[in-house]
Amino acid sequence: MNPLTRLPDAARLKGPGRKSRFLLFVLVFCLPLALASLDPDLGKHARFGGAASAMLAIALLLGPVWGVLDWALRRQHLALGTDGLTITTSFYKRSVPLSGLKLEQARVVNLAEHIDYKPRLKTNGTSLPGIKSGWFRLANGNKALVSIRQGERVLWLPTSEGYDLLIEPVDARQLIDHLQQVASGRTPA
């Protein structure tokens, strides 16, 4: 049991893999830098250093942008507090009271088999190969806050708040069992 999150260690959300983080680096840092280097007028108006100083300035601007996006991509967190279950995923954070979780309907699903639960339309989120994070419409039409990595075995948790949670903890079944125990008062929150 993690004393900070008040959840079992198996409830930890899976973050992005190395491939997703590398792809983010290529898209946010390398690709813009490479495209800028193709500009024949790059550095034309620089007071000193010409194209080299222009490239350095671009790299100095892109570095922090990539750093912030990488930090956000790795920000996958679940916690159980007095206000309920709090899910944090990239730029999004939501708290759902335990009474708002429909725990009796929660299911561990394989998205390859249960395509109705697949995130289809990204409405406000991040989607890279190997990670989906943020707000999506599922194939069944439901709005969902999503935090999944590979999507092989994910937890679909409907709420009474007008959206579902689609998350990928290390052990989804153990998370459901723990939340049911806490909601029934058998385990101290």
Question: For 55-95, how does the pLDDT look when each residue is reduced to its tens digit (9 = 90+)?
Answer: 888 899 999 999 999 999 888 889 888 878 999 998 999 99
**103 and 56 within one domain:** no
Question: Does pLDDT of 135 surpass 70?
Answer: yes
Longest dimension (CA), the chain: 71
Q: What is the pLDDT of residues 12-54, one digit of tens each?
A: 888 888 899 999 999 999 999 999 888 877 767 666 677 788 8
Name which of 72, 91, 77, 96 is nearest 12 in CA terms: 77
Is 5 within the bounds of a domain?
no
Instruction: State the residue range of the domain holding 102.
Output: 76-184
**92 and 21 within one domain:** no
Q: Which residue has the higher pLDDT, 162 or 5?
A: 162
The C-alpha atoms of residue 179 and residue 189 are separated, in whole angstroms, by 9
Q: What is the pLDDT of residues 163-183, one digit of tens each?
A: 999 999 988 899 998 898 888
Overall domain count for the chain: 2
